[in-house]
Amino acid sequence: MAKRVGILTGGGDCPGLNPAIRGCVMKGQEFGFEFVGLVEGWKGLVEGITMPLSVDDVKEIISKGGTILGTSRTNPYKKEGGVQKCLDNIKKLKLDALVALGGEDTLGVATKLYKEHKVNVVGVPKTMDNDLSATDYTFGFDTSVTIAVDAAGRLKDTGKSHRRIMVLEVMGRHAGWVALFTGIAAASDWTLLPEQKVSEQDVEKMCQHLRKVHERDKVALVVISEGVKLPGADAGKEELDEFGHMILRKRGIAQQLCDVIEKKTSIETRSAVIGHMQRGGPPTLFDRILGTRVGYKAAELVNEGNFGKMVAQRGMDIVPVPLEEATGELKVVTSDWMKLMETFFK
Ligand code: F6P
């Protein structure tokens, strides 16, 4: 039976979304599906805003950054009558199934719609943070870390010329995977993650180490995750989004750290924030293939009527897992990873 399938992308964008949309639409065509693009995440379903999504629309998008569907952090559960509007629009648009591409927030909504209202939904994990529990990797992560590692190398070059300590701030508000991988791959001299509780003594220890490294190498590199809290720092009044997450862009943690390091070491220190540059641009090979595979698998699950699932990478395989498993708990950096990271602060 031919099916009408709605697709949406919610939350922060990341490279790999377009390959995933393409994978789903092109596989779905083999099953005779007709796709409806829901524009800007859950907002598109709440407000009934759609765009056409045929094979012709997606054929050439594998190398494109961003998402052709647009995205938002709209939470239907936080909008007056939002959930009912979603249900009404599913009927109005004659959607037999929904494919939701997103992180813990977008998929959290998908889980609730499936459990509470029996909406036929399949989830596709995406996030540059790589912090979804039920999958080994999410697309977006490889590209954003690749960009951050490149930026770190550039910072080190200019830092060395000027005999400075350089601080690079990368994204990651609750999970430090991006900072961890960037730090290891760029051979940083110190890396700070949101999972760590940073004490005054830790800052002291870091500064002593940076002094030693700077004396030896004429430069030192620090990578810090945007979600780190420094001791004594004034976090200010943090703005929250519709999912209750802090909007961190106004905090400037890298500059705060820069000031602390400069004061304690008396070495000239500069900071840089890579920010959204990490989320744009063409996806890497890894993210193109992973995006394609999870999108393809999502179309298969819709065809099988295997709803309430998220497609996950487990080892080399793409498998269905219950949506709940994916959204129950955030995957954060473990102490084993931290030990490995610290080995290279020499
Ligand atoms: O979606 C994940 C993420 O990239 C986080 O690492 C970051 O804190 C946040 O999005 C930034 O969101 P926005 O694009 O809304 O500023």
Determine whether the shortest distance from the Cβ of 169 to ligand 1 is under 6 A: no
Instruction: Please tell me whether residues 185 and 119 are part of one structural domain.
Output: no
171 lines ligand 1 (CB under 6 A): yes
Which of 13, 40, 170, 173 is the pocket-test mutation for ligand 1 (most atoms within 8 Å of CB)?
173
Q: Is 336 inside any structural domain? A: no
For residues 45 and 157, state if they share a domain: no
**Average pLDDT for 73-90:** 97
Ligand 1, residue 12: give the atom nearest the CA: 1
How much is the pTM? 0.95
What is the percentage of the chain residues whose pLDDT exceeds 70? 97
Cβ count near 56 (within 10 Å): 9
* pLDDT reported for residue 245: 79
Which of 40, 101, 130, 171 best tests ligand 1's pocket when mutated (most atoms within 8 Å of CB)?
171
Distances (CA, A) of 28 to 21, 22, 112: 10, 10, 25
Report the SS3 class of residue 109. helix
* b (16+ CB within 10 A) / e for 175-202: bbbbbbbbbbbbebbbbbbbbbebeeee
pLDDT at 232: 82
Task: Domain of residue 258: give its range.
Answer: 142-277
Q: Which residue out of 129, 131, 189, 287 is catalytically annotated?
A: 129
Query: In terms of pLDDT, which residue wins out, 325 or 282?
Result: 282
Using the atom order of ligand 1, give the atom closest to the CA of residue 103. Answer: 1
Cα(346)–Cα(344) distance, integer angstroms:
5
pLDDT at 101 over 80: yes
Q: Look up the CATH number of the domain holding residue 237.
A: 3.40.50.460
Q: Which of 16, 208, 18, 15 is nearest to 7 (CA)?
A: 18
**Do 149 and 269 sit in the same domain of this protein?**
yes
Same domain as 232, residue 307: no
Query: Which helix or strand (DSSP H or E) is residue 311 part of?
Result: strand 309-314
pLDDT digits (tens, 9 = 90+) for 254-278: 999 999 999 999 999 999 999 999 9
Q: How many CB atoms lie within 10 A of CB 47?
A: 17
For ligand 1, pick from 13, 14, 107, 129 the residue to mutate: most ligand atoms within 8 Å of CB: 129
H/E stretch holding 239 reads none
Angle between helix 285-304 and 141-162 (nearest 10)? 160
Residue 41, domain CATH: 3.40.50.450
Q: In terms of domains, do 167 and 220 share one? A: yes
281 pLDDT exceeds 90? Answer: yes
Instruction: Please give the Cα distance from 158 to 156 (Å, whole number).
Output: 6
| Single-letter amino acid, residue 82 | G
**Phi, psi (5° rounding) for residue 166?**
-115, 135
Asked if 258 and 265 count as a contact pair (C-beta separation under 8 A), the reply is no
Q: Which of 46, 20, 82, 65 is nearest to 299 (CA)?
A: 20
In this structure, the answer to whether residues 146 and 263 fall within a common structural domain is: yes
Residue 262's CB is within 10 A of a number of other CB atoms, namely 18
How many Cα atoms sit within 13 Å of 179 on the Cβ side? 33
Residue 220 lies in a domain: yes
74 and 103 Cβ atoms separated by less than 8 Å: no
- Comparing CA positions, the residue from 127, 139, 122, 79 lying closest to residue 102 is 127
- Parallel/antiparallel/unpaired status of strands 220-225 and 269-273: unpaired
Which pLDDT tens digit goes with each residue over 177-203?
Answer: 999 999 999 999 999 999 999 999 999
Same domain, 83 and 207: no
Residues 163 and 186 occupy one common structural domain: yes
Going from the Cα of 14 to the center of ligand 1, the distance in angstroms, rounded, reads 10
In the reported structure, the alpha carbon of residue 29 is separated from the centroid of ligand 1 by a whole-number distance in angstroms of 33
Two structure tokens written together for 285? 């090979």
Shared domain check, 264 and 152: yes
* 6 strand-pairing partners: 36, 98
Ligand 1 atom with least separation from CA of 144: 4
Number of domains into which the chain is organized: 2
Three-point CA angle 173, 198, 338, nearest 5°:
75
Residues 181 and 193 occupy one common structural domain = yes
Nearest residue by C-alpha to atom 15 in ligand 1: 12
**Same domain flag for 203 and 80:** no
- Are 146 and 272 within one domain? yes
